Chains A and B, each alone.
Chain A
């Protein structure tokens, strides 16, 4: 089943993939020279399904691929151009809810925040102190969230 439903132009490429690729090139150059991250929201662009496929082929795949499960599935992979990451968020019924290309060292959504680390550290310390009983199910993780964990400058960070 096609991602966004069939339409008469879906099978045709319009050349948009190359425009987006050129934009990625500009952002990557800025990142390389000044360290400034960049971002392209693919959903807002008039890309046909064929265009998106062409862009994915042009950007290729790198060494890193991550599957995330948060409020539905999400995928993050580094393209063949180091520093250009493809982030695909899926929503209900596995349809693509949001899609972006992030030009940065590592997308923010992959990083673990210090406060989450502190909470996890506290929890592990607590678990280590429990009597060892292998029949007991481990408690479900519960991340601690607060305003300061979201004081990030952008999607990407140094």
Chain B
């Protein structure tokens, strides 16, 4: 029980503190940097900045038709594991209980076996993403430690969650402890690697949209 106690206790407390501190650090340090002022004149058909920003966030949710052929699988596979992860995290009852205890928020849950099926699909989808990265020569050349480690800290909670739910291989308290520790690892790494796209994706897409909009690009 000691592993589980450590995982639920000091490990989670530390991980959540680092997660909050790290995310705030990244966002504050980014927004407090200088801005290059663009003093050029307004272009024709320029949309309001906020609209342009929002449009770009939505526009980039699907590949351009020019690239679609080559990136279709990556796009679909990406949606599969992103949606899968969201469903698992937010609609499995023990997870909802965790959020309820932490934040006081509560919402309906999906049946356990539905989530179980989704998590198998998500795990396969994540493995496919890794295989694609390694098999593609260009991707392999440009991949860094961040890419692989971020993949690992995302995959481990899904894997340990499946193993714990299935009560496979070790005593349940050990499996649950490992699952919670893997989530703690994810939380600690998130602000400092490419997983920060949880928050920054909306920032970068907005900035790109606003900038291109001002330059008169018809998107």
Chains A and B in contact, CB within 8 Å: no
A: residues with CB less than 8 A from B are none
